C-alpha cells in the first residue's frame, strides 16, 4: 500500500468493520475501510483475504491506484462451498496430519493452548511453515477425498465447488494455503457448526504480537484458482438446540469460547469472528433463550464496538417482537484490566451481569451519543425503541 492512500487504525480510531484497533486500515476521508478480520459481504476482497468496504454515506473511492488490486467476481466467489461433510472430513484430516502438538509454541508457549486452559489440543492443527510440505499434504488429503467422496472431484470440474484454504494450480494439482514459507508457527482453529462439524478454519500466527502482522486470518484463498472464501461463520463451542432453558453466552473468537467452556458449565457458548459479525445467526441461535453478551471490555469506551452491541440489541428486540418472547438480555462486565472475558476468568476476576440500560449508563459520553444516533436513525419508532431496547 501507499501511505497517502490509507491510514492504520489505532485505539483512537478503530476499524469501522470489526471494531478493533490493530491490523486494519482506512482511507483518509473515511470513505472506505480495509478489514483484516472480516470479509463477509465486502464490496471487494483483497488477494490476502481482507474485506474492502465502501461506506454508503461517503463518496466511493475512485483512485486510479487502489490499495488492493481489484478482484473479479469469479475470483472472489462466496457461493459454491463444498458440502459440509466434505469440508469437515478435509479439515479433520488436515488437523490429524498436521496436529497442534507439532509445535511447542502453539501448545505451551505464551498465549498457547495450555495457557488458555484448552487441553483438547488434538482438535487443533499446526500448518507447516514450508509451502512444499503443505502442498504434499494437499495432494495426500485429496487422494483421501477421492476415495471417500468419489463424486466430489468430478463435480468440481463442472461447477465452482471449493474448500476454503485449498485451491488448484494451473496443472490441476491441489494446493494448500499460500505458496510461501513462514517464520512463525500457524495455529489452525476450527469453526464448528451446530452439529459439531467443521465448517471453516482460521489461522492464528504465533510469535511476538508487537510484530506488524495480523494475528488472525481466515484460512481461505478467494484469489486462487478453484479457491474461495468462507464468509464469517458462527462457532458453536457448546450448544444444545433442545436446551431452551439454558442461557446463551456469545463472545468473539473461538479460543475465548473454548476457554469459557471450563468456567461456564451452566451455559451454552457460541462465538463470532468479531464484534460486528454474524449478528443474524447469533439472534437465531439465542431465540427463546436468555442472552449473555461477553464481547471484549472495550465495548464501554470504543464507540464503534458500542454501536455493534447496540445493533445486536436492536436485532434481538425486533426478534422478540416477531416471535413473541421476552427472555432477558444481559451484558457481561469485568475488571477493565483484562481485555477479554477469557483473561478475566483465567485471572479469577469476578464477572458481573448488567442490563442493557446499566451498560448504556456506564458508557462514555461519546459512546452514548453513538448508540442513540444509531438506534434513532435505524428505526422509525426512535425514542420508543431506545427505551424498549435499553430497559
pLDDT, tens only, 320-335: 989 999 889 999 999 9
Q: Which domains does the chain have, with CATH numbers?
A: 1-58 (no CATH), 84-218 (3.90.980), 235-389 (3.40.1360.10)
**Which residues lie across from 34 on neighbouring strands?**
25, 52
Confidence of residue 165 (pLDDT cuts 50, 70, 90): very high
Cβ-contact 118, 255 below 8 angstroms? yes
The alpha carbon torsion through 285, 255, 137, 144 (nearest 10 deg) reads -30
Predicted local distance difference test score (pLDDT) of residue 252: 93
- CB burial string 299-333: b at 16+ within 10 A, e below: bbebbbbbbbbbbbbbbbbebbeeeeeeeebbbbb
**268 vs 61, more confident:** 268
Long-range contacts of 45-48 (CB under 8 A, 24+ apart): 45/71, 45/76, 45/222, 45/223, 45/229, 46/71, 46/223, 47/71, 47/223, 48/217, 48/223
Highest mean pLDDT among 185-194, 233-242, 331-340: 185-194
pTM: 0.78
pLDDT tens by residue, 292-328: 999 987 766 788 888 899 999 999 999 998 999 988 9
Highest mean pLDDT among 31-40, 128-137, 163-172, 237-246: 128-137
Residue 58 has pLDDT above 50, yes or no: no
- Decide: helix, strand or coil at residue 78: coil
What would the grid cell of residue 311 be?
445493533
H-run or E-run covering 380: none
Query: CA of 304: how far to CAs of 166, 266, 288, 311, 324, in Å?
Result: 34, 31, 28, 11, 30
Cβ-contact 212, 150 below 8 angstroms? no
pLDDT tens by residue, 264-292: 888 999 999 988 889 999 999 999 999 99
Highest mean pLDDT among 5-19, 195-209, 371-385: 195-209
Amino acid at each position: 500500500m501507499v501511505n497517502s492512500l490509507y491510514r492504520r487504525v489505532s485505539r483512537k480510531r478503530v476499524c469501522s468493520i470489526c471494531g478493533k484497533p490493530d491490523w486494519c486500515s482506512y482511507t483518509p476521508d473515511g470513505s472506505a475501510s480495509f478489514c483484516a478480520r472480516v470479509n463477509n459481504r465486502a464490496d471487494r476482497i483483497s488477494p490476502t483475504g481482507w474485506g474492502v468496504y465502501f461506506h454508503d454515506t461517503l463518496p466511493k473511492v475512485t483512485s486510479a491506484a487502489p490499495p488492493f488490486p481489484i478482484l473479479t467476481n469469479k475470483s472472489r466467489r462466496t457461493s459454491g462451498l463444498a458440502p459440509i461433510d466434505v469440508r469437515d472430513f478435509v479439515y479433520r484430516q488436515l488437523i490429524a496430519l498436521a496436529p497442534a502438538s507439532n509445535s511447542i509454541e502453539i501448545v505451551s508457549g505464551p498465549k498457547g493452548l495450555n495457557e488458555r486452559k484448552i487441553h483438547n489440543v488434538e482438535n487443533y492443527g499446526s500448518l507447516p511453515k514450508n509451502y512444499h510440505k503443505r502442498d504434499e499434504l494437499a495432494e495426500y488429503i485429496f487422494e483421501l477425498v477421492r476415495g471417500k467422496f468419489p463424486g466430489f472431484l468430478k463435480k468440481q470440474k463442472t461447477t465452482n465447488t471449493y474448500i476454503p484454504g485449498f485451491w488448484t494450480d494451473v496443472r490441476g494439482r491441489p494446493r494448500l494455503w499460500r505458496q510461501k514459507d513462514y517464520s512463525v508457527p500457524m495455529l489452525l482453529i476450527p469453526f464448528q457448526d451446530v452439529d459439531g462439524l467443521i465448517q471453516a478454519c482460521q489461522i492464528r500466527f504465533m510469535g511476538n504480537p508487537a510484530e506488524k502482522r495480523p494475528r488472525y486470518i481466515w484460512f481461505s484463498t478467494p484469489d486462487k484458482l478453484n479457491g474461495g472464501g468462507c464468509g464469517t461463520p458462527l462457532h458453536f463451542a457448546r450448544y444444545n438446540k433442545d436446551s431452551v432453558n439454558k442461557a446463551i453466552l456469545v463472545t468473539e473468537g473461538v479460543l475465548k469460547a473454548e476457554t469459557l467452556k471450563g468456567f461456564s458449565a451452566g451455559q451454552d457458548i457460541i462465538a463470532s469472528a468479531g464484534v460486528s459479525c454474524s449478528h443474524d445467526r447469533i439472534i437465531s441461535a439465542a431465540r427463546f433463550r436468555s442472552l449473555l453478551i461477553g464481547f471484549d471490555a472495550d465495548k464501554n469506551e470504543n464507540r464503534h464496538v458500542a454501536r455493534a452491541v447496540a445493533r445486536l440489541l436492536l436485532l434481538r428486540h425486533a426478534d422478540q417482537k416477531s416471535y413473541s418472547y421476552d427472555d432477558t438480555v444481559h451484558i457481561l462486565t469485568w475488571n477493565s484490566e483484562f481485555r477479554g472475558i477469557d483473561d478475566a476468568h483465567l485471572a479469577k476476576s469476578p464477572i458481573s451481569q448488567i442490563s442493557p440500560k446499566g451498560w448504556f449508563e456506564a458508557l462514555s459520553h461519546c459512546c452514548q451519543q453513538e448508540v442513540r444516533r444509531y438506534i434513532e436513525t435505524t428505526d422509525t419508532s426512535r425514542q420508543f425503541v431506545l427505551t424498549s431496547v435499553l430497559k
